[in-house]
Amino acid sequence: MLKERWAKCVDTLGGDVLTSAIRSVRSYGAVTCCGNVVSPDLKLTVFPFILRGVTLYGIDSQNCPMPRRQRAWDMIAGQWKFPWMEKLVSEIPLEGVGGVMDEIKAGKHRGRTVVNLWD
């Protein structure tokens, strides 16, 4: 168990990152997991679940029905959309990936870049 820090958490990495998140969630908090980039292993006890009532939700995006996906996308594009998102995200054509990769390697890239494969 770690000091309570978060009410909720979305984890895309797995492994020790997910373990720390679960151990840091407040009483009756929730953690969602949708990836295992770091590791598929989860090394922890049952204490966060039985002493704090933490819930771990798995996100199965592969088998999610299309109507449910559409509803989530609509919410992200609407009521859940961050007003500052436009400042954080830039779009580039596929031909621009090399330049962005150079920026990332040099530690000069900021924000998120979406690669448009259709233009």
CATH of the domain at 27: 3.40.50.720
Residue 24 lies in a domain: yes
- Residue given tokens 């954080």 in the structure block: 88
Phi-psi region of 15 (alpha: psi -120 to 50; beta: other; left: phi over 0): left
DSSP 46-88: SHHHHHS--EEEE---TT--HHHHHHHHHHHHTTT--TTHHHH
Residue 18 lies in a domain: yes
pLDDT at 89 over 80: yes
Burial class (CB in 10 A: 0-12, 13-18, 19+), 36: middle
Residue 95 lies in a domain: yes
Residue 42 lies in a domain: yes
pLDDT at 11 over 80: yes
Domain residues for 42?
A: 6-58
pLDDT over 90, % of the chain? 74
pLDDT at 76 over 80: yes
Domain count, the chain: 2
Residue 67 lies in a domain: no
Pair 54, 88 in one domain: no
Mean pLDDT computed over 98-118: 93
